[in-house]
Structure 1
């Protein structure tokens, strides 16, 4: 086996591997001899199976294994020749050439490595910004929002149910005339217009009078979580018992202030307003960061910091973006791409610029995180996933296991590092706060 390698640039290399037929045959025989001691074949004692029998029965698989081993050795030789370690290799090597005949295999392998990145001067891309101002009116609105949230529901005298009202009613759902499990409740309370129920249900209740009964026709979404109901037409029989509304307190009392400041000693309206002011300012900063500061910084550093991109990672990102976009294509486009390979290749290629920017930014963020000592622990990753699970009302342990099974925990960690990095980048670059 002959292997020669050369660097294309600092992040990519080409390894030419010539594997002669004799080397392949010898490796196949070696694997067959090893397999002969382990496989079970009727008519032979285990460990006494003739190599010829193994070759006849498993020759194709053994040949594949032999080639795989030889290419692995070729890659190891190339890495050694290039002065690279195996853990510097990124992604799976790809073939830019593969020719096989009776004399053996002539191939070219594309190898990619983590690029060397110089992020010096990145500070110039960090925009200065004014600390977001918080008004008294915004603090009062936040208090009113909380008071509305905790306000008790009471029966209100009203003729007709409208959006924004709370309905107390009974319902039972039927598909093909048969009641389905989980589709019945009595005395259920629902805010009309909150979109808690499937599309069309709450709109169908608008206009109902107390004591009135009605059949509401709806269609379950195609992606509904219960497979037996997904995409099905259904009828809900409803009866409205009462129209309710929230009775919102006009001002804060001591008990409510304590509810809004759990664990706070000497809770007071002044302390509450100061805490809300900090929260509102942080919310405004996050909005400013995500909509203005971060995009501007990203464009600047991607333009300013240049380095060679590992080809294998770029190709993976192109495939990822193309797969994500596939379901958004029209049926006509899908059919065209299945039949026309040139059109498919051209469409995939259209994602290259965005993929290169995404890969470039990922490496820049990784390097900046090291420069600024920004780290995210595994515990922080778990906490973030648990928090997401609680927000969506799913089992946190199952949610974490799903992420682990799909192999996306590193991506979650990278997203958290990026979030923490950008907060760190801009937290010390604000102008003096103006009076409020």
Structure 2
């Protein structure tokens, strides 16, 4: 076997691998000899089939396996000897192509871009500022009011129903004079203006009082889920039994109990912790950007063009969908990348390779428990389909990598932050919000 270098420019590499016909034949014979004791064939006892017959019967298939194993082995030996790590899957082509025939040498050309050698980054020069926001009395009070609004009660009222009121109704829906399935209910609580019913229904109940009856005339939308009702005119015979006005829940121990805690003091503590956890998460994003900016400034090395190109295309694709949120498909064709996309891609690739190198050298790993927790968090976005999501992740290596990569990066960032010169600065909520907004502007 012979390996000859054909290309060495920057990170681009090219090699010609030659496997002689004799070497390949030797591998085929070895594989057939290994299998011979287990082979059964009509007219021969098990393990006694002659090699010449085995080669005639199984030679072509074994030849293909031997060829693939020889090429794979040569590639692995090459990467082990050189220390090269390909940035993406190497491009491997058989020089003779379909013209190759048994008895010929196998000549393969392998090209790839090597990952660069990452220079040591002087992390001792990294200085970080951590913004700290304490939850103020006003923020806590606003949060409690929002909780009270979600626990809203309705109290009986005299007079006509208004938008925002709750009416308790009996109704019977008919199309062409005939009642239809799902079109009737008794003692149904409906908040006017909530948009719970089809367009035009709730508005016609405004102004009615308890005891009033009305035929509500509406038209089902053309895109309505039930085909037998879509686009049809309907009449709902309605009777208003009660009218209730909204009444905010009082901010007291009873409110706290509705949210599963014993008293208002405990609820306030939980609200404070939640707010400050949100502030801490935002502050960490600001600190992380500052860290990445510093790292980007202190390291420089060649980047694999294929990784930069792939990342630039991903950025362009993502920005396209952000600017065109109604286009959910992928039939828009290839999106042309700009210089701005490429510049951002270079930064992402450079920092990604640097963080990966630091993490590897410090033996930083994502634990099974951390990975499982991340999967569980994402699975909650698919209520009722959590099991299917877990199975999808298990069977999809690319999805596992997408979940694991940001976990690994965050652990590396935490390591650097723990060993950096870190100062804390207490700021207001407004100052933190401005700092977060600035992240999107850069």
**TM class by smaller structure:** 0.5 to 0.7
Rate the CA distance shift 1:27–1:111 in 2: closer, same or farther, 3 A: farther
8 Å contact from structure 2 (residues 132, 283) kept in 1: no
Match of 1:207 in 2: 203
8 Å contact from structure 2 (residues 165, 246) kept in 1: no
- Does structure 1 residue 277 correspond to structure 2 residue 272? yes
The 5 Å alignment of 1:341-352 reads none
Rate the CA distance shift 1:97–1:59 in 2: closer, same or farther, 3 A: closer
Count of matched residue positions in the alignment of Structure 1 and Structure 2: 399
8 Å contact from structure 2 (residues 355, 409) kept in 1: yes
TM-score, normalised to structure 1, is: 0.65
Rate the CA distance shift 1:17–1:218 in 2: closer, same or farther, 3 A: same
Match of 1:73 in 2: 73
C-alpha distance in structure 1 between counterparts of 2:169 and 2:202, whole Å: 13
- CA offset digits 1:103-130 (Å, max 9, x no partner): 532413426458545232476363x354
- CA offset digits 1:345-404 (Å, max 9, x no partner): x76999765554433333334455578897643223222332333354234343322221
C-alpha distance in structure 2 between counterparts of 1:206 and 1:329, whole Å: 35
8 Å contact from structure 2 (residues 313, 337) kept in 1: no
Match of 2:255 in 1: 256
Unaligned runs of 5+ in 1: 222-228, 338-343
Match of 2:220 in 1: 216
- Give the Å deviation of 1:82: 1.7
Mean Cα displacement is larger for which, 384-393 or 415-424?
415-424
Match of 1:406 in 2: 396
Rate the CA distance shift 1:16–1:311 in 2: closer, same or farther, 3 A: farther
Rate the CA distance shift 1:375–1:33 in 2: closer, same or farther, 3 A: closer
- Give the Å deviation of 1:132: 2.8
Q: 2:121 aligns with which of 115, 119, 144?
A: 119
- Give the Å deviation of 1:33: 5.9
C-alpha distance in structure 2 between counterparts of 1:260 and 1:398, whole Å: 31
8 Å contact from structure 1 (residues 171, 237) kept in 2: no
Rate the CA distance shift 1:79–1:380 in 2: closer, same or farther, 3 A: closer
Structure (1 or 2) with the larger CA radius of gyration: 2
- Give the Å deviation of 1:75: 1.2
C-alpha distance in structure 1 between counterparts of 2:127 and 2:233, whole Å: 57
Match of 1:287 in 2: 282
Match of 1:388 in 2: 378
TM-score, normalised to structure 2, is: 0.65
C-alpha distance in structure 1 between counterparts of 2:294 and 2:275, whole Å: 29
- Give the Å deviation of 1:184: 7.4
C-alpha distance in structure 2 between counterparts of 1:193 and 1:420, whole Å: 47
C-alpha distance in structure 2 between counterparts of 1:22 and 1:431, whole Å: 72
8 Å contact from structure 2 (residues 312, 337) kept in 1: no
- Does structure 1 residue 94 correspond to structure 2 residue 84? no
Where 2:107 maps in the other structure, the secondary structure is: strand
C-alpha distance in structure 2 between counterparts of 1:294 and 1:419, whole Å: 9
- Give the Å deviation of 1:272: 4.4
Match of 2:369 in 1: 379
Match of 1:110 in 2: 112
- CA offset digits 1:114-165 (Å, max 9, x no partner): 8545232476363x35433544322111001111222335566786785797
C-alpha distance in structure 1 between counterparts of 2:31 and 2:294, whole Å: 55
C-alpha distance in structure 2 between counterparts of 1:54 and 1:421, whole Å: 56
- Give the Å deviation of 1:27: 4.0
Unaligned runs of 5+ in 2: 209-213, 322-326, 431-442
C-alpha distance in structure 2 between counterparts of 1:257 and 1:40, whole Å: 78
C-alpha distance in structure 2 between counterparts of 1:191 and 1:418, whole Å: 47
Rate the CA distance shift 1:35–1:133 in 2: closer, same or farther, 3 A: same
Where 2:221 maps in the other structure, the secondary structure is: strand
8 Å contact from structure 2 (residues 86, 112) kept in 1: no
RMSD, matched Cα: 5.4
Where 1:281 maps in the other structure, the secondary structure is: helix
Match of 2:17 in 1: 17
- Give the Å deviation of 1:73: 1.8
Mean Cα displacement is larger for which, 104-113 or 405-414?
104-113
